[in-house]
Structure 1
Amino acid sequence: MLLGAVELLRERGSAGVTIDAVLTRTGTPRGSVYHHFPGGRRQLLSETLQLAADTIADMIESAAATGPAAAMHRFVEFWRHLLLTSDFHAVCPAMAVAVGGTEDDRALHPEVAAITTRWHTVLTTSLTTAGHPAPRATRLATLTLSALEGAIILCRTSRTLQPLDDVATELEPLLAEPPSRESSGQRSTR
């Protein structure tokens, strides 16, 4: 049920994640929904959002172990695949909730904030581990998340992967190598 609900959230936003839509998508008997989600639609939405977020966070965390550029490339490949297989209907579930205007969306904003904070922390840690100074690592993590999420939206609306590819190309040198002391504004202590 949750996987079908994640697909609906990616394609239609939270307004499209109804009990009936999930039942239709998954072929699940109606009684199962109420058994697994006694809190109704809001519980279903919350758990759907968390599953989607955990999937992305786990992917970023495992790729970040080999460096921030690897994490970015893994994220890009993940979204290239989702965009192509959904015929450009997919969007990040966390962003769908963040920009959605329903009461349920607003109720889930604290969860979205926690999710994006987790993603940001993983990227920041990967960048500092790779040698980027902490303040710059924080800014680069913000830039990376913002650029990639924006690129996903542009891909969806333009029905092409070019925005995602362009962002990856521009982020690659920023994430791959930490700046030298001279170019980062730090002075040598020799």
Structure 2
Amino acid sequence: MANDVRTKMVEGAIRLLATRGLAGTSFSEVIELTGAPRGSIYHHFPGGKDELIAAAVDRSATNAVTVLDQRAGRPADEVAELFLDTWRLLLTRSGFEAGCALVAVTVDTDSEELRMHAATAFRTWREHLSLLLARGGLSVEDGDRFATLLLAASEGAVILSRASGDLTTFDLVADTLLQQLRATIATP
């Protein structure tokens, strides 16, 4: 049961990071969102807020890899479609209120340790995406290049779509990325 409370708190922190940013992800906000007992804060996170945020960053990367694995062994364009559809779903289900928890940490932390933690999570995500794209028909080099492009372009498209409150920019970026990917697959 103790792990359930910790898991709820980490998942709550991810939601808050994605919608309110790092400054809006306090222990009291996490407690309010999750209903976790106040006494569990330092029991589960004796290192304080940075420990909670680091756990949220790790879980975000794990969640992303788990979603991507749904298309493991599928053609590269199907892997990319799932990746992009996941972002599209996040945007629409949240009413354009949610973005990437890792971006929230990266742009708002003063902690070099948390920034490096986010960098490691992004690298894990990109490397896994690269591996799946290569298994799906791209060369290793093209897989790495497209994984980097997919991640960077989709993060920017999510930010722009949140600002405008619609999918126009996101869909333009997604369509362009998929066209480029399919052209690369078609090139012998």
TM-score range relative to shorter protein: 0.7 to 0.9
Any idea what the Cα deviations from partners look like across 1:95-116, whole Å, max 9, x if unmatched?
111222x324x32121112111
**Identity %, equivalent residues:** 36
Corresponding residue for residue 187 of structure 2: 180
State the alpha-carbon separation in 1 of the partners of residues 140 and 12 from structure 2. 39
State the alpha-carbon separation in 2 of the partners of residues 34 and 9 from structure 1. 20
Instruction: Give the CA deviation at 1:155.
Output: 0.9
Structure 2 counterpart of 1:7, from 15, 33, 36: 15
Segments of 5+ residues of structure 1 without an aligned counterpart are 182-190
Instruction: Give the CA deviation at 1:179.
Output: 4.4
Instruction: Give the CA deviation at 1:131.
Output: 3.4
State the alpha-carbon separation in 2 of the partners of residues 130 and 56 from structure 1. 18
1:29 aligns with 2:37: yes
Any idea what the Cα deviations from partners look like across 1:94-145, whole Å, max 9, x if unmatched?
1111222x324x3212111211111221222223233333333322221111
Corresponding residue for residue 54 of structure 2: 46
Cα pair 1:128 1:134 within 8 Å, conserved: yes
State the alpha-carbon separation in 1 of the partners of residues 104 and 75 from structure 2. 28
> Which letter does structure 2 place at the counterpart of 1:167?
V
Cα pair 2:76 2:135 within 8 Å, conserved: no
State the alpha-carbon separation in 2 of the partners of residues 65 and 174 from structure 1. 20
State the alpha-carbon separation in 1 of the partners of residues 70 and 115 from structure 2. 26
State the alpha-carbon separation in 2 of the partners of residues 59 and 150 from structure 1. 20
Cα pair 2:73 2:135 within 8 Å, conserved: no
State the alpha-carbon separation in 2 of the partners of residues 115 and 61 from structure 1. 16
Corresponding residue for residue 126 of structure 1: 132
1:19 aligns with 2:27: yes
1:75 aligns with 2:83: yes
Any idea what the Cα deviations from partners look like across 1:146-183, whole Å, max 9, x if unmatched?
111111111111100122211221122332352434xx
State the alpha-carbon separation in 2 of the partners of residues 12 and 128 from structure 1. 35
1:97 aligns with 2:111: no
Instruction: Report the CA distance shift for 1:48/1:78 in structure 2 as closer, same or farther (over 3 A).
Output: same
Instruction: State the aligned residue count.
Output: 179
The alignment's TM-score, normalised by the length of structure 2, stands at 0.86
